[in-house]
């Protein structure tokens, strides 16, 4: 759902960094416990592809989440090097801006809950899954058609890369070289 397609495209063109929340964005928010009390989460394959598509096209991807061995393993699996575990998302966001030498306008943040609002209200391009909390939906410049854990990042990656004119060349590259 686009509030203003032209405005969203304008904002997406400037993105150099995409920051992801995990629970409710990369997962559907469900927590499963096994008999030993271990937590399990399910991630969508297409979100890994979305992250890789962004990174292959020069867009940095970072994750800021609370402590989660499962999320850390997923980040490593899909090649995300900027993985941070903290409850202080705004502080980590500010550190990332300084480290990368970029501005708010060059950042996309994907969040689904009120704990994400501090960063969502600062970035140039805020996004939320279709099933996000009302406050996150209101703060978003782009609301995905997909709910959390079901391809949010894949959908968003295509939108950003199309806005930047990188999607079609990326498809051509994948078709010529094979990728995966």
Mean pLDDT of the region 149-171: 96
Residue with tokens 């996004």: 127
- For 132, the 3-state DSSP assignment is coil
The domain locations on the chain are 5-177
Q: Give residue-wise pLDDT tens across range 7-16.
A: 999 999 999 9
CB-based contacts of 144, cutoff 8 Å, min separation 6: 127, 128, 129, 130, 151, 152, 155, 156
* Options 3.40.50.280, 1.10.3720.10, 3.30.540.10, 3.40.50.1000; CATH of 5-177: 3.40.50.1000
The mean of the pLDDT values for the chain is: 94
Q: Give residue-wise pLDDT tens across range 62-103.
A: 999 988 888 999 999 999 999 999 999 999 999 999 999 999
Q: What is the C-alpha separation between 68 and 23, in angstroms, rounded?
A: 10
Q: Determine the pLDDT at residue 39.
A: 79
Look at residues 157, 162, 122, 123 and name the one whose alpha carbon lies nearest to residue 25.
157
25 and 36 in contact (C-beta within 8 Å)?
no
Name the strand (E) or helix (H) holding 155.
helix 152-163
Q: Where are the alpha helices (DSSP H) in 30-141?
A: 45-56, 69-77, 89-100, 117-120, 134-139
pLDDT over 60 (residue 24) = yes
Q: Give residue-wise pLDDT tens across range 43-57.
A: 999 999 999 999 999
């Amino acid at each position: 759902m686009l509030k203003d397609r032209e405005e969203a495209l304008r904002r997406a063109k400037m993105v150099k960094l995409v920051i992801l929340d995990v629970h409710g964005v990369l997962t559907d928010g469900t927590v499963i416990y096994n008999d030993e009390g271990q937590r399990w989460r399910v991630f969508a394959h297409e979100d890994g592809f979305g992250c890789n598509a962004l990174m292959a096209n020069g867009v940095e991807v970072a994750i800021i989440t609370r402590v989660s061995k499962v999320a850390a393993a997923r980040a490593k699996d899909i090649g995300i090097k900027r993985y941070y575990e903290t409850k202080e998302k705004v502080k980590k966001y500010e550190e990332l801006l300084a480290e990368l030498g970029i501005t708010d306008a060059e950042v996309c943040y994907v969040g689904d809950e009120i704990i994400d609002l501090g960063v969502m209200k600062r970035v140039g391009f805020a996004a939320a899954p279709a099933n996000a909390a009302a406050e996150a939906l209101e703060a978003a410049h782009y609301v995905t058609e997909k709910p959390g854990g079901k391809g949010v990042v894949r959908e968003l990656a295509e939108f950003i890369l199309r806005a930047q004119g990188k999607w079609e060349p990326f498809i051509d590259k994948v078709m010529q070289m094979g990728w995966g």
